[in-house]
């Protein structure tokens, strides 16, 4: 009887076992990667907010600002790749770290989504959810095909729950399609003067041509917060929405809302490409700011860095009435200079000077620089008639610590006609004895 060689049998069995083992490992890796990708698709906003932990982070960040005596920008140590403080009064940047760098923005995109919806849709409209919206991944409100929900409640689901499905549903309702809505977003960005922002989606999942800057994101938030309904939505800790007639309470993903003094919005976000993001609006006294943190590696970092920016701003800046200061200095200069201006060939010899205004009356400046505001006036002292009312005849340069804050015009407050022949004759007759 012919014997079977054990060696060959074992080899075949071993080879088959090895292939099955490798295949199993490969399947496990694929499933694991898919789960990671899904978890990184802007679903961090669904994490449970530990308010005790946040309060500890608030205290820690506040102490760091105090202990380091953070008065200079170099003292403000951020771990996130991008950070910015924006003064809502003057529309100026108080601090920035890579604030004008084009980067992905994750769900902070939904600030612009809300703007377009609020300006183009009826809040009472009932939306029937289609398959595309229902099938959108990432952070979700939990909408299903044929669900019925109002635009109003979709906006709450968009901004509180960060629902990507709500974003697509709104985009299709308002723009006819995601692509059509993206065009509306880009048109609005252009109208707002945003030159470094481009939108491909209403939810912010990573796309190559979907980007903004921290500065322009602050501008979007500033614009949106002037819309009462938007401010109401983002300032809500929770809200009771209705889907198919059934009520459901959703909570806001903004961990600083209700946990840090003065915070009243705006939006969280996270994707693999954008990192963890947080846009925050905060007001204490007259100082109203927006902070932006983008590209944080962890939620703790984005929270702590946001707190650092806010506490740094309120420790080091105060609001001054720049219009009052300018007007006071102008009156002083005018009393000395107005009568020195010679009007050649004018029916009147006296011009009345006025000064134009900055686009804002208040500005946040460093407390240490409050006494370093200076205004430099320059004016023509020889003018030819005719002179029209509001004619520019000079300028005033406003500076803080030698840095130019802005330039405004010195203008004529009255019109002066040019002398005619008869005027010269009458003038001559008056000179006769």
Distance, CA of 86 to CA of 56 (rounded, Å): 25
Identify the sign of the CA torsion 190, 196, 200, 203: negative
Catalytic residue among 110, 161, 188, 299: 110
Looking at the DSSP bridge assignments, the partners of residue 283 are 288
Catalytic residue among 107, 139, 182, 197: 107
Catalytic residue among 162, 182, 197, 412: 162
Question: Between the CA of residue 76 and those of 38, 62, 291, what are the distances in Å?
Answer: 34, 12, 14
Q: Are 107 and 215 in contact (CB under 8 A)?
A: no
Helix (H) or strand (E) holding 370: none
Distance, CA of 222 to CA of 214 (rounded, Å): 12
Helix (H, G, I), strand (E, B) or coil at 199: coil
What dihedral angle (degrees, nearest 10) is formed by the CA atoms of 27, 29, 32, 38? -90
- 209 phi, psi to nearest 5 deg: -100, 20
Q: Are 267 and 111 in contact (CB under 8 A)?
A: yes
* Total Cβ atoms within 10 A of residue 433: 2
Pairing of strands 353-355, 403-412: antiparallel
- For residue 110, indicate whether it is catalytic: yes
- For residue 356, indicate whether it is catalytic: no
Pairing of strands 382-384, 342-344: parallel
* Total Cβ atoms within 10 A of residue 68: 14
- For residue 107, indicate whether it is catalytic: yes
- 278 phi, psi to nearest 5 deg: -155, 125
Residue numbers annotated as active site: 107, 110, 162
């Amino acid at each position: 009887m012919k014997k079977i060689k054990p060696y060959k049998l074992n080899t075949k069995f071993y080879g088959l076992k090895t292939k099955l083992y490798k295949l199993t490992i490969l399947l496990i890796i694929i499933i694991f990667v898919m789960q990671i990708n899904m978890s990184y698709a802007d679903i961090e906003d669904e994490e449970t907010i530990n308010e005790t932990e946040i309060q500890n982070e608030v205290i820690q960040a506040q102490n760091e600002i105090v202990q380091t005596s953070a008065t200079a920008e170099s003292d403000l140590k951020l771990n996130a790749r991008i950070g910015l403080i924006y003064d809502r009064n003057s529309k100026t940047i108080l601090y920035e770290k890579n604030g004008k760098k084009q980067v992905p923005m994750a769900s902070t995109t939904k600030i612009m989504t809300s703007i377009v919806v609020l300006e183009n849709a009826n809040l009472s409209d009932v939306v029937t959810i289609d398959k595309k919206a229902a099938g959108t991944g990432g952070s979700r409100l939990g909408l299903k095909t044929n669900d019925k929900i109002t635009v109003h409640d979709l906006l709450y689901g968009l901004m509180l729950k960060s629902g990507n499905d709500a974003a697509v549903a709104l985009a299709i309702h308002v723009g006819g399609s995601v692509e059509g809505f993206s065009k509306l977003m880009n048109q609005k960005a252009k109208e707002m003067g945003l030159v470094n922002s481009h939108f491909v989606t209403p939810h912010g999942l990573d796309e190559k041509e979907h980007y903004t800057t921290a500065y322009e994101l602050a501008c979007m938030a500033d614009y949106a917060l002037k819309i009462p309904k938007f401010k109401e939505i983002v300032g809500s800790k929770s809200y009771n929405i209705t889907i198919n007639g059934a009520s459901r309470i959703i909570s806001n993903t903004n961990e600083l809302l209700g946990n840090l003094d003065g915070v009243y919005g705006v939006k969280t976000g996270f994707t693999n490409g954008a990192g963890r993001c947080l846009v925050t609006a905060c007001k204490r006294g007259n100082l109203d700011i927006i902070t932006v943190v983008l590209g944080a590696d962890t939620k703790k970092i984005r929270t702590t860095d946001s707190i650092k920016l806010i506490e740094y701003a309120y420790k080091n800046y105060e609001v001054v009435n720049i219009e009052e200061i300018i007007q006071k200095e102008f009156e002083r200069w005018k009393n000395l200079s107005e009568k020195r201006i010679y009007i050649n060939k004018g029916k009147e010899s006296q011009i009345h000077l006025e000064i134009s205004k900055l686009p804002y009356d208040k500005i946040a400046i460093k407390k240490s620089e409050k006494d370093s505001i200076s205004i430099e006036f320059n004016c023509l002292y020889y003018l030819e008639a005719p002179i029209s009312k509001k004619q520019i005849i000079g300028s005033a340069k406003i500076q803080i610590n030698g840095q130019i804050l802005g330039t405004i015009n010195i203008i004529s407050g009255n019109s002066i006609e040019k002398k005619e022949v008869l005027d010269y004759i009458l003038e001559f007759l008056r000179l006769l004895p």
